Structure 1
Amino acid sequence: MIKRTFALSLLSVYGAAVFAAPAPVADVTSGSNDQRIEALERMFNTRTEAQHRMQQQLDTMQQEVNELRGSIETHNYQLERILDRQRELYAEIDKRMSGVANSPTVPVVADSNNVQQSGGVISANENEAYDKAVNLILKDKLYDQAIPAFQSFLQTFPNSSYASNAHYWLGQLLFNKQDWAGASAQFQTLVSKYPDSNKRADALVKLGITEMERSNSARAKQLWEQVIQEFPDSPSSKDAAKRLKTL
């Protein structure tokens, strides 16, 4: 009686699962009760093992999909940073070319080391010092040497038309070295003293990051919200929005 009941239970389970996945065909209608029960048990075990293998395959596929998704997100972020970097370089080149285009054709004033430009008199030494500092980054990749070069430039030419860019580059160099306090000071100077700088949006984003790194999430949130408000359609605004979601 017990074996018959167990056999009926197995038949019920088997019948419910018969449409879920194909199973080996076996004759369970002939032979003794023991033989029929053994046949049902074998079929049940075979189906269970097949379902386990299928689940393992699904789990493996899901893991691969997750890894691919993470890789795509990482590549997208890296591409976005590369594009931002290119925009910064183009802006820097435009500024330099604009300064050359707006300057008179070789005007010489009392000091032959000075060149007259539309915004006032810019020393040739000033141009040389700024070019040297920038080239240490863009051309020579000597980032550690570029830090004192920009510091010296800002100390020597605090009122230069290149001062805002110098603060940005110096802040970026210190940021890359994870000198959060030093980077914050440079970005804050740019934001406070040069509201019209084309690097203001990115400086605000990075200023927020330095605040987060120093456990000041409330200030970081305020800065990133400011970026979105002031520059709603900029890449910096998208970056700030992503960072806000992580808070």
Structure 2
Amino acid sequence: MIKPILTVGLISFTGAWAFAQAPVVDLNDPKETEQTQTTQTNSSNLVIANPTDIETRLLILERKDKSRVEAQQRVQMQLDTLQSEVDELRGSIELHNHQLEQILQRQRELYLELDNRFAKLSEQTTSLGQSTGATPSVPSITPSIPTGQSEEQAYQSAVNLILKDRNYDDAIPAFQSFLSDFPNSSYTDNAHYWLGQLLFNKQNWDGAREQFESVVNNFPDSPKRADAILKLGMVEKSVNNLSQARSLFEQVINEYPDSTPSRLANEQLKSL
């Protein structure tokens, strides 16, 4: 009989405690009624405000993401434009390099052709001089070099007197005029060299020496410097100054060991 009594007492106590925890509102009291409605309204507003705040944040994030994507697209377009310009510049550089290489190749061919012609002319002049005892005369042809030419035109006209017209006599004053009119030309070293070659073929040793020395002393980076030293040695050899000729041939070999003038200098040394 003790257990039922305890159970009933516990249930009664629990119910009384729960009843004490529940709020008691007097519906007849206006203040309590208003407070209750306000609390309910605030709770309702809190529930409604949260979704609105989340939607606002999502909208802001979407706008930021859209702006970021648009900025990346603009940057990519700029990069594409720059890459296109770089490709065009590379193409232009390659084209110019190719054209420059063609010009240099033509210049090298021109030098070789002139050297070959001068060498043949020198051999003919020497052989004829030895057989007749006098230097053969070359018929003079009036040069067709118009006045008022540019630097490149004047140089090419003088060269054409050798290559096309084979008018070696008139090529001498043509190169002399070029050097007088364009003393600071980019072709000055070449003009001195070819003028020296022409005078060498005429056996004007002093004049040839002066022109070759001008190339050697005034144009240390000229592509014709090695040839000029070689020709100075040949001038000295022609006037029987063999010691100086040997020194000049050895200078070519020492300073330009892998060049064509070095090979020719070796052949000249063997003939001394």
**Superposition TM-score, scaled by structure 1 size:** 0.50
Gaps of 5+ in 1: 1-85, 93-122
Give 3-state SS (helix, strand or coil) of 1:241's partner.
helix
Structure-2 residue corresponding to 1:198: 223
Give 3-state SS (helix, strand or coil) of 2:193's partner.
helix
Structure-1 residue corresponding to 2:240: 215
1:246 positional shift: 2.4
Mapping for residues 68-107 of structure 1, pairs under 5 Å? 87=108, 89=110
- Give CA-to-partner distance per residue, 1:19-68, whole Å, 9 cap, x none: xxxxxxxxxxxxxxxxxxxxxxxxxxxxxxxxxxxxxxxxxxxxxxxxxx
1:87 positional shift: 4.5
1:124 positional shift: 5.6
Find 1:224's aligned residue among 228, 249, 256.
249
One-letter code aligned to 1:214: V
Gaps of 5+ in 2: 1-106, 114-147
Structure-1 residue corresponding to 2:87: none
Distance 1:133 1:185 in 2: 19
Distance 1:88 1:169 in 2: 15
In terms of Rg, which structure is larger?
2
Find 2:157's aligned residue among 119, 123, 132.
132
Count of residue correspondences: 133
Distance 1:90 1:204 in 2: 16
Structure-1 residue corresponding to 2:172: 147
Q: Please identify which structure carries the higher helix content.
A: 2
1:206 positional shift: 0.9
**Superposition TM-score, scaled by structure 2 size:** 0.46
One-letter code aligned to 1:246: S
1:179 and 2:200 aligned: no
1:88 positional shift: 5.3
Find 1:164's aligned residue among 189, 192, 214.
189
- Give CA-to-partner distance per residue, 1:172-216, whole Å, 9 cap, x none: 111111111111110110011111111111111111010111221
- Give CA-to-partner distance per residue, 1:122-173, whole Å, 9 cap, x none: x962222111111111111111000000001111111111100000110111
Structure-2 residue corresponding to 1:233: 258
RMSD of aligned Cα (Å): 2.3
Structure-2 residue corresponding to 1:244: 269
Distance 2:111 2:229 in 1: 20
The share of aligned pairs that are identical, in percent, is 62
One-letter code aligned to 1:89: L
Distance 2:214 2:111 in 1: 23
Q: 1:90 to 1:168 in 2, by over 3 A?
A: closer
Give 3-state SS (helix, strand or coil) of 1:197's partner.
coil
